Each structure stands twice: as C-alpha cells, then as structure tokens.
Amino acid sequence: MAQDMIDSAPILSAGLVRKSVIGAIILASLTVGVSFAGKWYGKRIAVGEYSASTAPLEIVIGPDRLKLPENAIRFPDQRFSGKQEQVNLALQWPEMKGYEPASAQRFFDISNAGSLIFLQLSQSIMTRDMSGRVSPIYSRLFDGPAEQGPAGLALHRFRQGSGYGDEVLLTDPNGGAEPYAVRCVLPATPAQSTGADCQRDLIAGSDLSVQYRFSAGLLKDWKALDAAVRTYATAHLAN
C-alpha cells in the first residue's frame, strides 16, 4: 500500500494535512488488507456484545453530525453521544437494521457471511472515494488488461510488489468517468467466504468517509448494496 501513499498525495484532504498525525493515519488505513480485515471482523463477530436498544445517539465525526441507533453500533465502547474519531456499524442485509434479539443468530453465526454488512464511518483523509481513485492511483498498478469478473464486473489484477497481495479491483465496465469500484479477496469457494471479502468506500455529508465491507457472495447485489449504503448514510446525517 506504500504506492497508494505516493500516488494519492495530491488528493489528500487539505483539512487533515495540518494534523501532525496524518501520516500515521494514512499509513494505518492503507496498509490494512481486505484479507486481514475479513479474519479480524470474523473474530469480533464471534465475541460481539450487541445492544438491542434503538435509542438514538448523536455522534460528531469531524464536521459531520449523525444520529445513529444504538443497536447499529458494533462495539460497546463507541455507543455514546459526542465526538468520535470513527464509528463501526454492523447491519443486517438487506434490511439495513441493527441488532435485534429475534435475529441474534445472524450476528453470531459467522458461517452465514452474507447476512451482515459492516460500515466504518470516519473523517475523510482523501478528497476522492474509491471510484475516484481508479484512474489516478489503481490503474497505474494493474497487471495486464481487465478480465471478466463476477456479477458482470471487470476484474483488474494488481502487479506483484504493488502492496495489494491477493486483492483484485472490480469495476463497472459500463460506468462513467468515476466507475463503481470495489477491492476484494475472492474466495476459492463460497464456503471460504468471510463477512469482509470486499471493501469499498464513498464520501457522504461534508467530509464523512463511509467504508463498507461485505461478503463476496453479495457481489451479485452490488448495485443495490451501494445504493442502500449511500441512502443509510445520508438518512442518518443530522448536519
């Protein structure tokens, strides 16, 4: 991911460049691979402590204010109103709802990877989302022409040494100047899928980065999934 830091320097958010810790933040955010994230989320699911309360919490992330139901927030230490660096959510798919006792099994059964999606809300460190980074960053690291990928998407492999390991980038071949893009570690079989095979990020509100992770089994629903995440983020903004 070191290449990301070099190529993405011109598009860093000006507001965060002034912070002395921006280098560490960028390095940490860009060096966490999808494969590692999948294993980490799988472990956290198994030992999760969920809340069934739907009480709204007013959370401030950078210049953005959000009202989020308590049961949507993944980790207990993030369930409070006030300023936070980031908030992690676990939502049922396709309902886009938080934890409920009636559906508790979906939150603790890691074999049913497609039943949940995971969102991470934080202040943007870049001025472009993943789609906007395809041309200036990712395209420079592709290894050969695009291949046919799942769900009608184009599959781009990364060169060895690019820092992306076994990840691939999937894009919408019919997209516009900034096509849909998602990074994935595609499992060899459906049984090997995790709840975080794929990750994508978009920008909402004033300066809110919405990163979401999901099972590769949900790629068939990529359009509906992306629309649902955008709608959820927008609906819970209280700016």
Contact 171, 183 (CB under 8 A): no
Lowest mean pLDDT among 39-53, 98-112, 181-195, 202-216: 39-53
CA neighbor of 99 nearest in space, from 111, 115, 121: 115
pLDDT of 130: 97
Q: Is the dihedral of CA 88, 94, 97, 98 positive or negative?
A: negative
Give per-residue pLDDT as tens, 22-52.
Answer: 444 443 444 445 545 554 444 444 445 899 9
pLDDT over 70 at 70, yes or no: yes
Q: How confident is the model at residue 126 (pLDDT cuts 50, 70, 90)?
A: very high
pLDDT of 189: 94
pTM score, whole prediction: 0.81
Q: How confident is the model at residue 8 (pLDDT cuts 50, 70, 90)?
A: very low
Alpha helices in 80-146 (DSSP H): 104-108
Contact 214, 93 (CB under 8 A): yes
Average pLDDT over residues 180-187: 97
Bridge partners, 199 (sequence order) = 183, 213
Average pLDDT over residues 93-116: 95
Tokens of 60: 């401030």
Cα separation, 205 vs 176, whole angstroms: 22
pLDDT over 80 at 153, yes or no: yes
